[in-house]
Amino acid sequence: MTSQTLFAEARRYIPGGVNSPVRAFRGVGGEPFFVDRAKGAHIWDIEGKEYIDYVGTWGPAILGHAPGVIQEAIAAAALKGVSFGIPNPLEVEMARTITEWVPSIKKVRMVNSGTEATMSSIRLARGFTGRDKIVKFEGCYHGHVDSLLVKAGSGALTHGQPDSAGVPAALAQLTITLPFNDPEALRAIFAREGSQIAAVIVEPIPANAGLYLPRPGFLELLRELCSAYDALLIFDEVMTGFRLARGGYQERCGITPDLTALGKIIGGGLPVGAFGGRAEIMDQLSPDGPVYQAGTLSGNPLAMAAGLAQLHELERLNAWDKLEAIGAEFEEGTRVALKKAGRDYVFQRIGSMFCLYFTSGEVWNLADAQRSDRAGFARYFHACREAGVYFAPSQFEAGFLSLAHTSEDLVKTAQIVERALGA
């Protein structure tokens, strides 16, 4: 069976043939391939073709694919039972580890996905403050939550319209969408509606529209305004948590959110999410408080075992210095390739996350990112894929490096990137 025939079969039974939209290759054209196996920084499709992988399960594979420590942890946990629906010791160990590593989190609750984490954080913020409105930023994706699938209207301060069928317009009206890195818009909306805002949710490093960084002072202003108006600040660190530092990006930037959403790395490749924050806020959750949230598989022992094994291995290896070095080497190779190919495209990186925008000039927000040459990116993507390098099949997704990427991988990638840019 080939990927082509399997995709045709998949389309008979699965909407679009995929279980998550970006996998369908609609952003680059063509059809997806199907993976047979993965190890380290490499994946092999069902036809045997090998790729150097820079998707990394969209973030969780920070140690690389199929690391022995995680495989062993899952196997050992499975021998005792794959799920209980009853408290198990690994849940407590994970909660203790998270609160020790992330100082802003005093209590934490496990869920099964990043979407659940952000959804629950929003409900909790509304319950704690007694307010209904939330603020989000263009280009920041927080999962397929009704309240968060909203885009901006005609102006920076207009209330949103649904960004997906099935999202009631009345619910969208409670979400205000602003441009990222726009302090004037932020000040204006708080001056106008601050007393009605329950929370501001933000990816402190937006990584779902490529990758762009906060301007100096922007996140600090966000913290200041939330505190002044008694609104909660929610950091969505589903991608950046435990990847950019032991304590997440909030450790690097020195800003303390009220709530934090986590996922990906704390599951070691298994479905997982978590949200946590100040104790007085978290104590509003059922069964202690009036905000209801539940999950049959929350704290699943396999996911907890895999995530704990990954976190402990990251700490044992002092992984963040190593990831920074790998990221710097990858960046150097990419910039040399850009220069040799005569391209002035924007390359952005922080730690082991990166994006190559097919545009010139600075990229600070979604509008800047959308200047990118999507057709040019699609040609580049397919050229890299044909040569054995797999990047995310969209201009507007971040790439991920892992501890398993070797200098040999990075050198080969830079050579392929240079040829693909020149095509």
Q: Position of tokens 């930023």? A: 137
- Residue 225: alpha-carbon gap to chain centroid: 25
The secondary structure of the chain in percent helix, strand, coil, rounded to multiples of 5, reads 45, 15, 40
Single residue among 316, 348, 383 that ends a domain in this structure: 316
Q: Judge whether residue 159 has pLDDT over 50.
A: no
User: Are 359 and 211 contained in the same domain?
Assistant: no
User: Are 278 and 267 contained in the same domain?
Assistant: yes
The predicted model gives 275-287 an average pLDDT of: 98
Single residue among 316, 342, 364 that ends a domain in this structure: 316
Q: Residue 416's closest CA among 327, 346, 341?
A: 341
Catalytic residue among 51, 54, 141, 212: 141
CATH code, domain with 360? 3.90.1150.10
User: Are 157 and 49 contained in the same domain?
Assistant: no
Residue range(s) defining the domain that contains residue 354: 3-66+317-422
User: Are 275 and 310 contained in the same domain?
Assistant: yes
Q: Provide the sign of the torsion angle of the four alpha carbons 105, 106, 110, 115, taken in this order.
A: negative
User: Are 176 and 310 contained in the same domain?
Assistant: yes
Q: If phi over 0 gives left and psi between -120 and 50 gives alpha, with beta otherwise, what is residue 211?
A: beta
Single residue among 316, 337, 358 that ends a domain in this structure: 316
Residues 259 and 125 sit within 8 Å (Cβ to Cβ): yes
The 10s digit of each residue's pLDDT in 359-395 is 999 999 999 999 999 999 999 999 999 999 999 999 9
Q: Residue 341's closest CA among 366, 293, 390, 376?
A: 376
pLDDT band per the 50, 70, 90 thresholds, residue 158: very low
Residue 42 main-chain phi, psi, to 5 deg: -120, 150
User: Are 208 and 305 contained in the same domain?
Assistant: yes
Enter the pTM of the model. Answer: 0.95
User: Are 134 and 251 contained in the same domain?
Assistant: yes
155 Cβ contact partners less than 8 Å away, ≥ 6 residues apart:
none
User: Are 286 and 303 contained in the same domain?
Assistant: yes
**Half-sphere exposure in the Cβ direction for 351 (13 Å, CA):** 26
User: CA-CA distance, 54 to 400, in Å (whole number)?
Assistant: 5
User: Are 114 and 232 contained in the same domain?
Assistant: yes
Q: Provide the sign of the torsion angle of the four alpha carbons 99, 100, 104, 106, taken in this order.
A: positive
pLDDT of residue 155: 33
In the chain, the number of structural domains is 2
Catalytic residue among 107, 258, 264, 368: 264
User: Are 86 and 187 contained in the same domain?
Assistant: yes
The predicted model gives 31-43 an average pLDDT of: 97
Catalytic residue among 45, 53, 182, 236: 236
Asked if 236 is an active-site residue, the reply is: yes
The predicted model gives 231-241 an average pLDDT of: 97
